[in-house]
């Protein structure tokens, strides 16, 4: 039969009181009997009373200490340890874009499922309630993550889109020590679509996206904002470091169309740096302006090569 925490506490206190009463009665009977036996001699009677007082007091103190120790052990087993284990298991739950995870790295993972509490009281009810809450939360986060991923990513390239950028613009980038925004554009993309085919244009977009995904990391975020307009955001980089990375990357990507074509299709880019206190929108606008100037110069260079 399952017993509640209230019932267990009452039983524990009642048992302790019963033990005290029984011991008090037993000690009183034994030592008061000795005291009465010495009634004939007053000195013996007084001596027996003194002995009784000392022995009774010491016995009660020892008994109280024993009961306190037993109570502490029972509390540790039935109350403190389950609550502590559940607290550790809950505090080890973390949330990220990858979903929910349990257990701390480098330590033995302590999860709610591993506890397996079967005390038959409210503690067990709390344990099962937490298990259900964890399951419901995981399912909810999964559904949100799936919907959020579709809203925040470009379906063709799998890169983050403007929705994701707008979210990070307010929730992530303002708290970075520094950011460098590089806006990119595919020169002569419209020529590819008109003179070759839209499939060829999609192939070029896919190629750029594939190279951007390789460039992506925890501190480098890549986006496709429009058809042939891309963006890279560097978090925590020095300006020189970010410029070096994006320059080498663009050079490595190189020409995007066939060498036999009578026109050249390649990337142009422009960037802007901000550190300390900065406005992300202003940095983006300056980077877009730099892209416009860079694209104009790149088109002029391509025309002169002809």
On the question of pLDDT at 231 being above 90, the answer is yes
Q: Is residue 140 part of a domain?
A: no
Q: Per-residue pLDDT tens for 256-291?
A: 888 777 888 889 999 999 998 899 999 999 999 999
Same domain, 113 and 203: no
Name the residue range of residue 190's domain: 162-305
Q: Is residue 138 part of a domain?
A: no
Same domain, 168 and 53: no
On the question of pLDDT at 2 being above 90, the answer is no
Q: Is residue 144 part of a domain?
A: no
**Which band of pLDDT confidence, cut at 50, 70 and 90, is reported for residue 120?**
low
Q: Is residue 155 part of a domain?
A: no
Q: Per-residue pLDDT tens for 152-179?
A: 888 899 999 999 999 889 888 988 889 9
User: pTM for the full model?
Assistant: 0.57
- In residues, how long is the chain? 306
**Which band of pLDDT confidence, cut at 50, 70 and 90, is reported for residue 232?**
very high
Same domain, 172 and 272: yes
**Measured between alpha carbons, how far is 17 from 9 in angstroms, rounded to an integer?**
12
Q: Is residue 82 part of a domain?
A: yes
Q: Is residue 139 part of a domain?
A: no
**Domains contained in the chain, number:** 2
Same domain, 285 and 182: yes
Q: Per-residue pLDDT tens for 25-43?
A: 666 666 555 554 554 445 5
Same domain, 125 and 169: no
On the question of pLDDT at 292 being above 90, the answer is yes
Q: What is the CATH number for 273?
A: 3.30.70.270
pLDDT score of 27:
65
pLDDT score of 14:
67
Same domain, 126 and 170: no
Same domain, 174 and 301: yes
Three-state DSSP class for 170?
Answer: helix
Degrees, nearest 5: CA angle 167-232-270: 120
Same domain, 170 and 275: yes
Q: Per-residue pLDDT tens for 70-94?
A: 777 777 777 777 777 777 777 766 6
Q: Is residue 142 part of a domain?
A: no
Least confident of 125-129, 228-232, 282-286: 125-129
Same domain, 33 and 84: yes
Contact partners, residue 35, CB within 8 Å, separation at least 6: 45, 48, 49, 52
pLDDT score of 141:
67
Same domain, 109 and 231: no
Same domain, 106 and 167: no
Degrees, nearest 5: CA angle 167-172-177: 150
Same domain, 128 and 168: no
Q: Is residue 235 part of a domain?
A: yes
- CB contact at 8 A, 270 and 293: yes
């Amino acid at each position: 039969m399952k017993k509640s925490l209230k019932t267990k506490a009452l039983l524990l206190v009642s048992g302790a009181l019963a033990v005290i009463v029984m011991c008090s009665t037993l000690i009183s009977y034994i030592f008061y009997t000795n005291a009465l036996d010495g009634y004939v001699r007053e000195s013996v009677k007084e001596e027996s009373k003194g002995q009784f007082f000392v022995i009774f007091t010491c016995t009660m103190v020892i008994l109280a200490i024993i009961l306190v120790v037993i109570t502490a052990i029972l509390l540790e087993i039935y109350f403190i340890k389950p609550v502590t284990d559940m607290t550790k298991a809950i505090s080890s739950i973390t949330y990220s874009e990858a979903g929910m995870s349990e257990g701390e790295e480098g330590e033995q993972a302590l999860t709610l499922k591993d506890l397996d509490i079967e005390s038959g009281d409210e503690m067990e009810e709390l344990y099962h309630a937490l298990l259900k809450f964890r399951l419901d939360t995981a399912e909810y986060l999964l559904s949100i993550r799936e919907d959020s991923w579709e809203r925040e990513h470009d379906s063709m390239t799998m890169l983050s889109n403007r929705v994701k950028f707008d979210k990070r613009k307010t929730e992530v980038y303002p708290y970075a020590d520094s950011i460098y925004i590089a806006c990119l554009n595919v020169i002569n993309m419209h020529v590819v679509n008109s003179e070759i085919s839209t499939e060829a244009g999609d192939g070029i977009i896919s190629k750029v996206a594939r190279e951007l995904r390789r460039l992506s990391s925890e501190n480098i975020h890549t986006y496709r904002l429009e058809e042939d307009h891309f963006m890279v955001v560097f978090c925590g980089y020095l300006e020189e470091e970010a410029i070096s990375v994006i320059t080498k990357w663009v050079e490595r990507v190189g020409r995007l169309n066939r060498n036999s074509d009578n026109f050249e299709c390649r990337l142009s880019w422009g960037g802007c740096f901000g550190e300390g206190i900065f406005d992300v929108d202003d940095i983006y606008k300056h980077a877009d302006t730099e892209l416009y100037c860079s694209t104009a110069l790149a088109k002029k260079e391509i025309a002169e090569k002809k």
